[in-house]
C-alpha cells in the first residue's frame, strides 16, 4: 500500500475525483501533485489534502512549502502573524486565520512583506529551501510553512493534510482546530462529501432525472458541478456574487465579487427549476432588503447588501435588473406554488417593483425608458431589457391574481401587453427578418433570445426562428461557440460566451432540435476548466477568458440541461406506440 493511501476514506475517493480534485504534473521534475479540497458545510474550515507522487526513476528527497500573504480587511496595515505550538495564526481585529497540518510543519518563518523593499518570507524558501524560524511579526506581514517529506522511491507517494480555520476570536479558532484534530481526517471528509452528495441528490425528485443517464458523462458532470458552483457563490444572507475569481481585475482595480440583481435572478430561476426553493427564498429576502424606496434596484451590491461600485452615471439604472427579480419571484410561484413565499414578498417586492416598472414605460414608444443594456456597455432602449420588463409585469399580474388583488392585476396586465405589442411592432425588423438589439440599434445580438424565452412569442414563431438562425449563422465562432454580438471587442474580437452558446442550445431544445441542443451543451462541457468550472468567455483557440468561474454561466447550464431533458422526455413519450 502506498504511503498515506489509507488516509482518505474509500467511500469518498470517487466523490473527490468528481468534485474536488486538481492535478499538477511536471515530467521534467518527475513529480505529480494531486490536490483534494473541501469546505465544511457548517463550520468555517477549508481543508486540503496534497498527494505528492514520484513519477521519475530516481529516489526523491523533497520539501513542501506553503506561503500565506493576506490582506485582512482589504489592507496590509496592522496585521499580525504568530506561531502558536503547531499552528500558525494570521489576524487583525476580529478576523483570525489558523493554519495547521498533519503531519505538523517542521519549518516556519513569519516576517515583513511588501514593505520598504521586503518581498516576504517566500524569498527564504526560494534561496535555500530553509526557513528562519522567526515566530511572530506585525504590520505588513506574510508567512511560510515547510514540511520535510519522507524519502520517495520511484512510483511512491505521500500525503499532506492541511486546513485553515476562520473565526472572529483567537480562542474560537483554536477550539475548532482542536475539534478537527479530535474528529480525524476521515470524519471531516465523510461529513463534507456526504453533505454535498445529499445536496445534489435532491435533483433525483425531478422528472428529468430519469433520463440523466442518457447524457454524455462530461455533460452530467458539468451539470452537478454547476449546481455546486452556483451555491458556492451564495452568502448566508441570500446575496449571490457574480464570481469568486480573485485574479480578475475589472476596469482597473475592481472585482466581480458583487451581487448583480440580474445575475442573482438568473441563479434563482435555475435553483427553482432544480427545486432548491429554500435557497431562492433567501435571495428574495436579500432583494427585499436592498430595493430602493422608488421600487427599483441599483447597478450592483456588496455581499452584505451595501451599494457597490459602479461605472454608470446617475440614475445608475439597468432596468432589466428590476424586471428580472420580479420575474424570478413569479417563476418561483409557478413551480413551487407557495402562497407563503408569494404573500411574504408581495408588498415588499411585487408592489414596489411592478409600480416602478409601470412608471418607467415611455408614453410615446410604449417601451421601457432608456437604460444601460445587460452588457452594461451602452444606454438605450433594448429588446432584451424590454422583454424582462414585460416578463416582470406579466409575472406581477399572475401573482396579484393568485392573491386576489384584481385592481393592480388589471393595471399590470395592461402595461405588460402594451410593451409586448410595441416589442413586436418596433423591435422586429422586417427588412432584416430578425429582432434588432434596440430601438435605434440594428446590431445582431444574442441577447434577443429573450423574445421567446421570456414569453413574447413562442419559440417556433417564424420571427423567433429567423432571429435564432441568424445568431447561429453569423455569431458562431471558429471554436464552435456563440459570440455576444457582431464585432464585440471585450477581451478580444468576438469571443464565444458560455451563456450565449447555452441560449442557442435552449432554443434548439424548445423547438425539438435535440441533437444540436446536446451538441452545444457538450461544447460547453468540453471547454470547461479541468476543475469543471465555466469561464465567462472562450477565445477562438478554445481557451477560457475573463472571469472564472462565472455564476451566470453555471446557472444557465443548469437550466439548459434540464430543459434539454424535458424536451427529450416529451419527444420520447410522443414517439411511443401504444397497443390498441
The whole-number average pLDDT for the span 126-145 is: 93
Share of the chain above pLDDT 70, in %: 94
- Looking at residue 250, what is its pLDDT? 58
| pLDDT tops 90 at residue 11 | no
The whole-number average pLDDT for the span 361-382 is: 96
> For the chain, what are the domain ranges?
10-197, 266-443
The stretches of 360-447 forming alpha helices (DSSP H) are 383-402, 406-426
Residues 6+ apart with CB under 8 A from 30: 54, 55, 56, 57, 58, 60
Q: 137 has which bridge partners?
A: 81
Grid coordinates of 575: 414517439
Residue in this structure with the C-alpha cell 523593499, named with its chain if needed? 117
Q: Tell me: cis bond preceding 315? Omega within 30 of 0 counts.
A: yes
Share of the chain above pLDDT 90, in %: 79
| pLDDT tops 90 at residue 381 | yes
Instruction: Kindly indicate whether the domain formed by 10-197 is annotated with CATH number 2.70.98.40.
Output: yes
The whole-number average pLDDT for the span 355-374 is: 96
Q: Tell me: cis bond preceding 534? Omega within 30 of 0 counts.
A: no
- Looking at residue 252, what is its pLDDT? 61
pLDDT digits (tens, 9 = 90+) for 418-428: 999 999 999 99
The whole-number average pLDDT for the span 532-539 is: 95
- Looking at residue 249, what is its pLDDT? 65
Going by pLDDT thresholds of 50, 70 and 90, the confidence category of residue 201 is confident
DSSP 8-state assignment for residue 361: B
Residue in this structure with the C-alpha cell 440523466, named with its chain if needed? 212
Q: Residue 476: name the closest of 454, 450, 453, 444 by CA.
A: 444
More confident position, 8 or 178: 178
Grid coordinates of 359: 412608471
The whole-number average pLDDT for the span 148-158 is: 97
Going by pLDDT thresholds of 50, 70 and 90, the confidence category of residue 19 is very low
pLDDT digits (tens, 9 = 90+) for 290-308: 999 999 999 999 999 999 9
- Looking at residue 17, what is its pLDDT? 33
| pLDDT tops 60 at residue 447 | yes
- Looking at residue 16, what is its pLDDT? 33
Q: Residue 65: name the closest of 106, 28, 32, 119 by CA.
A: 106
pLDDT digits (tens, 9 = 90+) for 102-115: 999 999 999 999 99
pLDDT digits (tens, 9 = 90+) for 47-78: 899 999 999 999 999 999 999 999 999 899 99
Radius of gyration of the CA atoms of the chain, in A: 26
Q: Residue 187: name the closest of 40, 87, 44, 3 by CA.
A: 40
The whole-number average pLDDT for the span 231-236 is: 93
Please tell me if the domain spanning 10-197 has the same topology as the one spanning 266-443. Answer: no
Instruction: Kindly indicate whether the domain formed by 266-443 is annotated with CATH number 1.50.10.10.
Output: yes
Beta strands in 420-485 (DSSP E): 428-429, 434-435, 482-483
The half-sphere exposure of 532 on its side-chain side, counting CA atoms within 13 A, is 22
- Looking at residue 248, what is its pLDDT? 74
Q: Residue 360: name the closest of 287, 407, 294, 440 by CA.
A: 294
pLDDT digits (tens, 9 = 90+) for 474-532: 999 999 999 999 999 999 999 999 999 999 999 999 999 999 999 999 999 999 998 88
CB 475 within 8 A of CB 500: yes
Going by pLDDT thresholds of 50, 70 and 90, the confidence category of residue 580 is very low
Residues 6+ apart with CB under 8 A from 379: 370, 371, 372, 373
- Looking at residue 150, what is its pLDDT? 97
Mean pLDDT of the residues in the chain? 92
3-state secondary structure (DSSP) of residue 384: helix
Distance, in Å, from the CA atom of 219 to the CA atom of 225, rounded to the nearest integer, reads 10
Amino acid at each position: 500500500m502506498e504511503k498515506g493511501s489509507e488516509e482518505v476514506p474509500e467511500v469518498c475517493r470517487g466523490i473527490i475525483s468528481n468534485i474536488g480534485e486538481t492535478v499538477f504534473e511536471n515530467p521534467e521534475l518527475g513529480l505529480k501533485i494531486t490536490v483534494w479540497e473541501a469546505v465544511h458545510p457548517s463550520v468555517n474550515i477549508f481543508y486540503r489534502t496534497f498527494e505528492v507522487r514520484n513519477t521519475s526513476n530516481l529516489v526523491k528527497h523533497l520539501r513542501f512549502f506553503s506561503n500565506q500573504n493576506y490582506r485582512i480587511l482589504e489592507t496590509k496595515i496592522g496585521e499580525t502573524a504568530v506561531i502558536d505550538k503547531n499552528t500558525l495564526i494570521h489576524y487583525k481585529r476580529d478576523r483570525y486565520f489558523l493554519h495547521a497540518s498533519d503531519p505538523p510543519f517542521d519549518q516556519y518563518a513569519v516576517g515583513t512583506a511588501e514593505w520598504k523593499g521586503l518581498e516576504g518570507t517566500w524569498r527564504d524558501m526560494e534561496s535555500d529551501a530553509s526557513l528562519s524560524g522567526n515566530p511572530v511579526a506585525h504590520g505588513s506581514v506574510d508567512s511560510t510553512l515547510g514540511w520535510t517529506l519522507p524519502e520517495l522511491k520511484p512510483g511512491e507517494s505521500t500525503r499532506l493534510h492541511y486546513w485553515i480555520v476562520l473565526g472572529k476570536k483567537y480562542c474560537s479558532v483554536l477550539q475548532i482546530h482542536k475539534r478537527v484534530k479530535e474528529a480525524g481526517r476521515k470524519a471531516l471528509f465523510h461529513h463534507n462529501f456526504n453533505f454535498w452528495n445529499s445536496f445534489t441528490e435532491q435533483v433525483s425528485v425531478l422528472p428529468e432525472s430519469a433520463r440523466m443517464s442518457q447524457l454524455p458523462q462530461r455533460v452530467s458532470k458539468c451539470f452537478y458541478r454547476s449546481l455546486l458552483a452556483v451555491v458556492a457563490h451564495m452568502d448566508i444572507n441570500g446575496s449571490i456574487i457574480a464570481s469568486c475569481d480573485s485574479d480578475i481585475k475589472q476596469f482597473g482595480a475592481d472585482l466581480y465579487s458583487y451581487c448583480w440583481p440580474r445575475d442573482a435572478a438568473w441563479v434563482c430561476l435555475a435553483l427553482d427549476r432544480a427545486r432548491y426553493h429554500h435557497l431562492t427564498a433567501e435571495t428574495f429576502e436579500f432583494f427585499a432588503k436592498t430595493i430602493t424606496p422608488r421600487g427599483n434596484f441599483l447597478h450592483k451590491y456588496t455581499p452584505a447588501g451595501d451599494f457597490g461600485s459602479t461605472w454608470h452615471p446617475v440614475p445608475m439604472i439597468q432596468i432589466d435588473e428590476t424586471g428580472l427579480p420580479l420575474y424570478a419571484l413569479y417563476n418561483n410561484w409557478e413551480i413551487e406554488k407557495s402562497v407563503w413565499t408569494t404573500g411574504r414578498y408581495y408588498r415588499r417586492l411585487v408592489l414596489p417593483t411592478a409600480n416602478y416598472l409601470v412608471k418607467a414605460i415611455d408614453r410615446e414608444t410604449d417601451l421601457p425608458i432608456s437604460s444601460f443594456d445587460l452588457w452594461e456597455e451602452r444606454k438605450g432602449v433594448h429588446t432584451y431589457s424590454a422583454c424582462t420588463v414585460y416578463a416582470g409585469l406579466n409575472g406581477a399580474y399572475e401573482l396579484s391574481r393568485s392573491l386576489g388583488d384584481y385592481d393592480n392585476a388589471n393595471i399590470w396586465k395592461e402595461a405588460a401587453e402594451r410593451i409586448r405589442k410595441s416589442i413586436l411592432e418596433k423591435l422586429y425588423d422586417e427588412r432584416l427578418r430578425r429582432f434588432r438589439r434596440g430601438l435605434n440599434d440594428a446590431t445582431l445580438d444574442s441577447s434577443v433570445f429573450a423574445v421567446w424565452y421570456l414569453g413574447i412569442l413562442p419559440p417556433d414563431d417564424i420571427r423567433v426562428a429567423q432571429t435564432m438562425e441568424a445568431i447561429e449563422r453569423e455569431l458562431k465562432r471558429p471554436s464552435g461557440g456563440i459570440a455576444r454580438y457582431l464585432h464585440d471587442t471585450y477581451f478580444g474580437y468576438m469571443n464565444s460566451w458560455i451563456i450565449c452558446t447555452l441560449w442557442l442550445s435552449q432554443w434548439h431544445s424548445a423547438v425539438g432540435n435535440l441533437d444540436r441542443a446536446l451538441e452545444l451543451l457538450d461544447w460547453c462541457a468540453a471547454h470547461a476548466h479541468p476543475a469543471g468550472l465555466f469561464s465567462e468567455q472562450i477565445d477562438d483557440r478554445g481557451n477560457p477568458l475573463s472571469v472564472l468561474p462565472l455564476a451566470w454561466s453555471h446557472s444557465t447550464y443548469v437550466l439548459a440541461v434540464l430543459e434539454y431533458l424535458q424536451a427529450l422526455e416529451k419527444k420520447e413519450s410522443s414517439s411511443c406506440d401504444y397497443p390498441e
